[in-house]
């Protein structure tokens, strides 16, 4: 660990976050958009673990634990919403799911 500069981990995390952003903007499948959000959460987790490890402080990892809890809850509720929308509209294309637009 000590031989690897911290910036490498942070850059990897920034890169994964940007890929997640690009995925959310490019993809039109609601489930894949959801997976891109998971990717962004994971890149944030990597940053937290990196700082926690380099500072020798376990609180960052406690926070990662909570992020994982929220991600699990979010995935369960979000996928349930997608299933409900699919039952109603027979599609998961987010361009066609625009009932909140006026």
Site residues for other proteins, 2-21, by CB under 8 A, read 2-12, 14-21
- How many residues make contact with other proteins (CB under 8 A)? 75
Site residues for other proteins, 35-94, by CB under 8 A, read 35-36, 38-39, 42, 45-46, 49-50, 52-59, 61-62, 64-66, 68-77, 79-84, 86-88, 90-93
Q: How far is the CB of 60 from other proteins (least distance, A)?
A: 8
The CA R_g of the chain, rounded to the nearest whole Å, is: 17
Spatial separation of the C-alpha atoms in residues 65 and 17, rounded to whole Å: 19
CA torsion, ordered 31, 37, 38, 42, to nearest 10 deg: 160
Per DSSP, the three-state class of 58 is coil
Q: How far is the CB of 99 from other proteins (least distance, A)?
A: 11
**Measured from the CB atom, is 92 or 102 closer to other proteins?**
92
Q: DSSP of 80-93, one letter per residue?
A: HHHHHHHHHHS--B
């Amino acid at each position: 660990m000590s031989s690897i500069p911290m910036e490498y981990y942070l850059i990897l995390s920034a890169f994964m976050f940007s890929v997640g952003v690009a995925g959310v903007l490019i993809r039109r499948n609601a489930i894949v958009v959801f997976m891109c959000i998971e990717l962004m959460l994971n890149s944030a987790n990597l940053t937290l673990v990196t700082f926690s490890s380099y500072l020798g402080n376990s609180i960052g990892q406690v926070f990662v634990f909570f992020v994982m809890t929220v991600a699990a809850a979010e995935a369960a509720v979000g996928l349930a919403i997608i299933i409900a929308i699919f039952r109603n509209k027979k599609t998961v294309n987010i361009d066609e799911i625009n009932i909140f637009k006026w």
